[in-house]
Structure 1
Amino acid sequence: MPELPEVEVVREGLDKWVRTRTVKTVQVLDPRSVRRHTDGVDDFEQTLSGCSIASVVRRGKFLWMDLEGLPTPAALVAHLGMSGQLLVEEPDAPDEKHLKVRLSLSNRSGYPGELRFVDQRIFGGMFISPVMATPDGLPAGAGSLQASIPLAAAHIARDVMDPHRNPDDLYVALRKKNTELKRAILDQGIISGVGNIYADEALWQACLSGLRSTATIRRPEVQRLNDALVDVMMRALAAGGTSFDSLYVNVNGASGYFARSLNAYGREGKACLRCEEKGRESLIRRDPFMGRSSYSCPVCQPRPRRTRS
């Protein structure tokens, strides 16, 4: 599933190509992709047609487009799920095999005329959501100057790269929990935008085990983890995100290449690069985790004693 860097790459592309343009017409090719729009396909198409896209905003993995031209404030939320793609295309470009929703946009010289939502596995979707004021009165996320957020995203905490986030809030939130550290940083209500890949990378960089109890975490350790999360996200964003197959692409269809720089995730049985530099022998291990996998170094990310095996 796309994490913060991947979604930010998409947001930046949408901000360049579709912001300030008007949606002329909407065509829903698969009703399953607008199932979260509770008023149905016809309402989705009719409500969105004629609206202008005022801004493209991201908080964590949540992406939305603030709309102008409606009686009450609303946003078009795009949930990418496991395989969702938002692509800008010329109207005469062949339809993608898994094209689900087509938005025809107002003409602008040199700009593609359509925004397409493509989704092979149909876990993602689009829907129109009312908006509310942000609880802290600050801009909702990247790409926004407005203190408003879709109701569907209101429960999401500020993300790793949000300039309005206080890093010390992460320590406070973690100490309130009594769970494993990796589970906590995957909780989008604690800090948003972190998924399985970047959690493993940040924990490795911070020399912390994901099995540590949040109830025992110390402030310097959280600061180290926070710095690692920010660094990993910034490097991944600079690389265009992480792509393991053709399903994650930016709005122009290009893949990211941060996978080439991973230190822990997917490196089972390979030497820990940090230990190798220090003349130690240690191999990255893989453990089952919430139906997925966790990757860590058993030497420089020592497990709590009660969980060692």
Structure 2
Amino acid sequence: MPELPEVETIRRGLVPHVVGKTIARVDALHPRVARMSPEGLDSLAGMTISGVVRRGKFMWFLTGERALVAHLGMSGQMRINSDSVHVRARFHFTDGTSLDFVDQRTFGYLHPDQLLPTPDSGPGGYGSQAAMIPASVAHIGRDLLDPLLDLRDVARAVKHRRTEIKRAILNQNIASGIGNIYADEALWEACVHPQKMTTAMSLAKIADVYEHAREVMERAVEAGGTSFDELYVNVNGESGYFDRSLHVYGKTGQPCDRCGKEIQRITFMNRSSHLCPACQRRSR
């Protein structure tokens, strides 16, 4: 599933192709693409896109007093000049250009939504200074690349959860954008076992885990995200190359880059977690 670095890469790629353009019409080519919107996508006709904004894994197009939320799900892509057989919606602009929403597994969606003022009066997301956020995204916490996110507040919230640290990291209501890949990488960087209880960790160590997550995702954005297959590409169809920099995720059986011990894969929260049993001892 695309995480913050992948969605940010797509957001940046979209800006020069769509900002300032007016939508002539939107063709919904699959019944699931607008399943969150009873009104469908026809109301977007005539609207001009003034910005592309992201918070965590959510992205939205600003269209005046409303927004078009785009959630990529497991395999969603925004493509310019796509020749994919998995186009689920096509935006036609008045200048003759178009944008495709491609989604092989159809878990993603497009949703015209109302904008609400942000509770803290800060910008709703990265890419706009407007203190507004779509109603369907308002429950999502600020992400680790957001300058308004205070890691001390995050650490205090996590400490009181009385849960495993990886479960807390993946909680999008606390700090958004982190998924399985970058959670595993951040925990390896911080030498913390994914099942370590937050109550057994100091506030400083919890904040350290999130700081490592921030650093990992910053590096991933610079690399264009992580691509394991054709399900994630940027708007021009190019793959990201951060997979070359991964230390534990998908490295089962390979030696740890830090100590040489064999990387293990465990099942936790109904998903795979990758760790070094020497560097990330649960008792540490």
Deviation at 1:55, TM superposition (A): 0.9
Match of 1:264 in 2: 248
Instruction: Please list the CA deviations of residues 72-94 of structure 1 after superposition, one character each: whole Å capped at 9, or x if unmatched.
Output: x21001110001111122xxx6x
Does 2:280 align with 1:301? Answer: yes
Match of 1:30 in 2: 30
Contact between 1:211 and 1:304, CA under 8 Å: does it hold in 2?
A: no
Match of 2:85 in 1: 97
3-state SS of 2:49 partner: strand
Match of 1:86 in 2: 78
3-state SS of 1:273 partner: coil
Match of 2:101 in 1: 117
User: CA–CA distance in 2 between the matches of 1:75 and 1:159?
Assistant: 19
Amino acid at match of 1:247: L
3-state SS of 1:255 partner: coil
3-state SS of 1:52 partner: coil
The structure number with the bigger radius of gyration is 1
Deviation at 1:220, TM superposition (A): 2.2
Identity among equivalent positions (%) equals 49
When normalised by structure 2's length, the TM-score is 0.97
When normalised by structure 1's length, the TM-score is 0.89
Deviation at 1:291, TM superposition (A): 2.4
Match of 1:279 in 2: none
Match of 1:75 in 2: 67
Deviation at 1:270, TM superposition (A): 1.0
3-state SS of 2:80 partner: strand
Does 2:207 align with 1:207? Answer: no
Contact between 1:248 and 1:255, CA under 8 Å: does it hold in 2?
A: yes
Does 2:179 align with 1:195? Answer: yes
* 5+ residue gaps, structure 1: 277-281
Deviation at 1:102, TM superposition (A): 0.7
Match of 1:7 in 2: 7
User: CA–CA distance in 1 between the matches of 2:118 and 2:243?
Assistant: 34
Instruction: Please list the CA deviations of residues 162-219 of structure 1 after superposition, one character each: whole Å capped at 9, or x if unmatched.
Output: 0111111111110120110001000000110000000000000011111111122212
Amino acid at match of 2:62: D
User: CA–CA distance in 2 between the matches of 1:261 and 1:105?
Assistant: 38
User: CA–CA distance in 2 between the matches of 1:21 and 1:176?
Assistant: 46
* 5+ residue gaps, structure 2: none
CA RMSD of superposed structures (Å): 1.3
Amino acid at match of 2:88: K
Amino acid at match of 1:29: L
What is the aligned residue count?
A: 284
User: CA–CA distance in 1 between the matches of 2:133 and 2:200?
Assistant: 34
